[in-house]
Chain A
């Protein structure tokens, strides 16, 4: 099975703490893309980042950073100095290169308390 696993069902932190959301994927493809989406209470999935399997450089965007490690099939997401507005469900996804079919993880609910 080409699954995406987000083992952390729910995480609670206090504002300004750093938090890392884990994502582990399975694939038989040599070329694929990985994504993170944020789903706030309003329900819409908001695109955060796309990485392809050829690029293992870590990426930082403001308070967000991503750690892609092909050797361990992981694509973890870190929020630095978390804020209440970061409270949401975060989904990791892998896309089938040829057919553009997304495989989503089950999501991690992040609660950031003031």
Chain B
């Protein structure tokens, strides 16, 4: 079974530029998550989708970050404009939907390492 796919793996941009990350979850997983992981810290949830609806985006900096999950499968996370403090690893994860077991286990992709100069 294929895991969570993410691209690109690495991205270097200058501040004020825009960048987009793509995620393809495990087939059949209705719930998709985007996390930001700053060096030396644990992952921090940015946004959670259930199919194509947003469940939780309370920690998403909405003035510069946006995310969408069209058709309830793939998702994109965008930063516009980027700031120096956005340098981090952006992780995508997916899990089964409520009612399915073991739904609370999240499976993570390899992440995108973003460096903002």
Contact = CB atoms under 8 A, between A and B. Distances in A.
Nearest to B96: A100
Contact of A99 (B40, B43, B55): B55
B31 A42 contact: no
Given A50-B104, A107-B42, A100 B110 contact: no
Contact of A43 (B48, B55, B104, B110): B110
Given A100-B48, A102-B106, 5 more contacts: A50-B102, A99-B55, A101-B48, A106-B40, A106-B41
A44 B106 CA distance: 12
Interface residues of A, number: 23
25 contacts: A4-B42, A33-B104, A37-B108, A42-B110, A43-B89, A43-B113, A44-B109, A44-B110, A44-B111, A45-B91, A45-B93, A46-B108, A47-B106, A47-B107, A50-B104, A91-B42, A93-B42, A97-B104, A100-B103, A101-B45, A101-B48, A102-B43, A102-B45, A104-B43, A106-B42
Interface in A44-64: 44-47, 50
